[in-house]
Chains A and B, each alone.
Chain A
Amino acid sequence: MFFNKGKNSFVAGCAAMLLVSACSVDPKIVPVLPANDIREVIPDGWPQPVYRFERNPLGEKGFILGRELFYDPLLSKDNTISCGSCHQQFVAFAHADHDVSHGILGRLGTRNAPALFNLTWHPSFMHDGGVNHIENQPLAPVENPLEMDEKIGNVINKLQASAKYRRLFNDAFGSEEVTYQRFAQAFAQFMGMLYSYNSKYDIVMRKEGTASFSDEEQRGYNLFRAKCATCHKEPLFSDFSYHNNGLPVKPSVNDSGRAHITLNPADLYKFKTPSLRNIALTKPYMHDGRFETLEQCLNHYNGGVTNPVNLDPQLQGGIPLSAQDKQDLIAFLKTLTDYKLLFDKKFADPNGQ
């Protein structure tokens, strides 16, 4: 019904070519993402990403479709909330000033919306790691009753009924057919391009020009490497593993963390280590947004570590930090802000503002 044979095979041919070239391009080490260039980037010295676009050939058209979907409230049951409502570019795709998620009809969730960047390196998603693949990530907020509360089948039907989306799917995949797999893969193309590797920290590490840390930042970095970096591991600033970092349990929620997924008592109260890139912007902090400032986070490590159940051995007794240490650490953490991610127009809502 929606197929146009001639065009179809032409586009399929292009897709095949794209596929071939995507496979033969060696994962080039590119220092800076050229404007409007949609391609995989592996910065110098970084590990291989988990998600490589092998069966989802990257292209501008797929990216554009993914971006359109990301900013479209059509994905929610009452057409009021888009992914972009809770993941805002100016705060590195976290939710500014919201401790827990606000879904349709003002429904409140229990967890804080994380910032989104460098997602192709994530082996799992969510604070509890419940989602095991970037392509299946959008399904979770769509179907969560406290977020978008929609059935994915309805979303696919709404998209199929839209002339705009039939055109965008045709552009990206060579026919107007809207399938879950295409929907998911377009999302992965957009989300996978949200790279963050151009902070001051990165520029200093790459020894670009005359960039260097101030004394304060350098002391903070030294402290960070000594006390924080095993979990918040460079260069992604996460080990992508699960730890209890000693936050007292909120009885009203009693979020069991990783154990919610594994039902394993040894995983109780463990949460996925968040990246600290762009951390100066992504308040509030922790899985439930309980802290408003970085100072509070450091005070937690310094004197607030309690919850003994499965407490990470590195945090027994907390991490003693002097006032100077805290100031230095915060100065360092501020070097992790990547203005390129925040202001790159190609990540913005194309119909927005």
Chain B
Amino acid sequence: MKKAILFLSVLSIAGFVSCKKDNKDPEPSNPTSPAPTPTTGNLTVQFTNMVDAQPLVFNTGYKIMGGDSFKVTKLNYYITNIRITKTDNSVYSETNSYHLVEHSNPSSTSITLPNVPNGSYKSISFTLGVDSALNVSGAQQGDLSPTKGMFWSWNSGYIMFKLEGSSPASGASSKGLLYHVGGFSGANKTQREFAFNFGATTANVNGTSTTPKVKVSTNVTELFRNPNTINFSVLHTVHMPGADAKKLADNYADMFTFDSVVN
């Protein structure tokens, strides 16, 4: 655990430094050299949304262990600042690393990093949520465009994580569950950092057409427990930054687990 924290803080320093780099296009390869073997390749990070041991399917009833049942109708979250580390400890940080994972859009659950330098990668880290600077820097585009429905218009800032659904136990008259989790600064910030070692395996990028895949599970049930047990009759609607959003963020801080690497 301590190690993970240390690892994380080293990474985040590395991340800060590399964030300073501007988003230049990759250098064009020298036109005079004869077709060189590529020195970079792709690496894919794949998220599988789960409800404990079962894959998440919208509009399907699930029961929390010893608790209430619920259905999910919407699940979106931002994965940002993806960094991967080689066995020699050099770090590759994706530029413009902002990805919206939408359960309704299967292609969005696989994030492919282009132009990754060849090598054996032993670990990954990423952030759930959008860093505070981009919450205060005006109109953004791509996955950060407010057309994605993940930006509060009346209280500027990104919704980092969104789960909607229903439960017979919900205290709302509609029996709905609505968890829009955001808040980008101060005590109630909701971004959370994650870092995983691949253990004995490595993800091998070697410039060929094969793309190594790092598989990560997202267990949405974690939103409702540990450290804060969410009682649907009491906390069924969260749609602004604040103490409730922070509670949910503290819960999702252990939502991801590393599954495997497929080379």
Where the two chains meet, the residues of A that have a C-beta atom closer than 8 Å to any C-beta of B are 55-56, 126, 130-136, 139-140, 142-144, 151-153, 156, 179-181, 183-185, 188, 261, 263
Secondary structure at the A interface, as helix, strand, loop or mixed, is helix
The residues of B that contact A181 with a CB separation of less than 8 Å are 139-141, 145
State in angstroms the CA–CA spacing of A56 and B155 once bound together: 23
Interface SS of chain B:
loop
Residues of chain B in range 84-141 having any CB-CB distance to chain A below 8 Å: 135-141
Point out the residues of chain B lying under 8 angstroms from A261, CB to CB.
Answer: 155
CA of A156 to CA of B148, assembled, Å: 12
- Residues of chain A within 8 A (CB-CB) of B157 are 132
Q: List 25 A-B contacts (CB under 8 A).
A: A55-B138, A130-B155, A131-B153, A131-B156, A132-B156, A133-B136, A133-B137, A133-B156, A136-B153, A136-B156, A139-B146, A139-B151, A140-B153, A142-B153, A152-B153, A153-B149, A179-B141, A180-B139, A180-B145, A181-B139, A183-B139, A184-B139, A185-B139, A263-B240, A263-B242
Contact A144-B153, Cβ < 8 Å, known A139-B146, A179-B145, A180-B147:
yes
Q: A288 CA to B17 CA in the complex, in Å?
A: 47
Q: Please, which residues of chain B bring their CB within 8 A of the CB of A184?
A: 138-139
CA gap between A140 and B156 in the complex, in Å: 9
Q: Report B's interface with A, CB cutoff 8 A.
A: 135-141, 145-147, 149, 151, 153-157, 240-243
Q: In the complex, A181→B139 CA distance in Å? A: 5
Contact flag A135-B147 (CB < 8 Å), given A140-B154, A143-B153, A144-B153:
no
Given A133-B138, A144-B154, 7 further pairs, Cβ under 8 A: A131-B156, A133-B137, A133-B139, A152-B147, A181-B145, A183-B139, A261-B155
A residues within 8 A CB of B156?
130-133, 136
Report whether B146 and A152 are in contact in the complex, using a CB–CB cutoff of 8 Å. Answer: yes
Q: Which residues of B contact A56 (CB under 8 A)?
A: 138
**B146 CB contacts on chain A under 8 angstroms:** 136, 139, 152, 180
Q: Which of B138, B139, B149, B242 has the most CB of A within 10 A?
A: B139
Please give, as numbers and ranges, the residues of chain B lying within 8 Å of A126 by CB-CB distance: 154
The distance in angstroms between the C-alpha atoms of A140 and B243, with both chains bound, is 24
A208 to B3, CA, bound (A): 69
Q: How far is the CB of B159 from chain A (nearest CB, A)?
A: 13
Output the least CB separation between B96 and chain A (Å).
Answer: 14
- Residue numbers in B under 8 Å from A140 (CB-CB): 153-154
Give chain A nearest CB distance to B132 CB in angstroms.
11
Q: Is the CB of B154 within 8 A of A131?
A: yes
Which A residues are in CB contact (< 8 Å) with B153? 131, 136, 139-140, 142-144, 152
Q: How far is the CA of A181 from the CA of B135 in the complex (A)?
A: 14
Whether the Cβ atoms of B138 and A135 lie closer than 8 Å is: yes
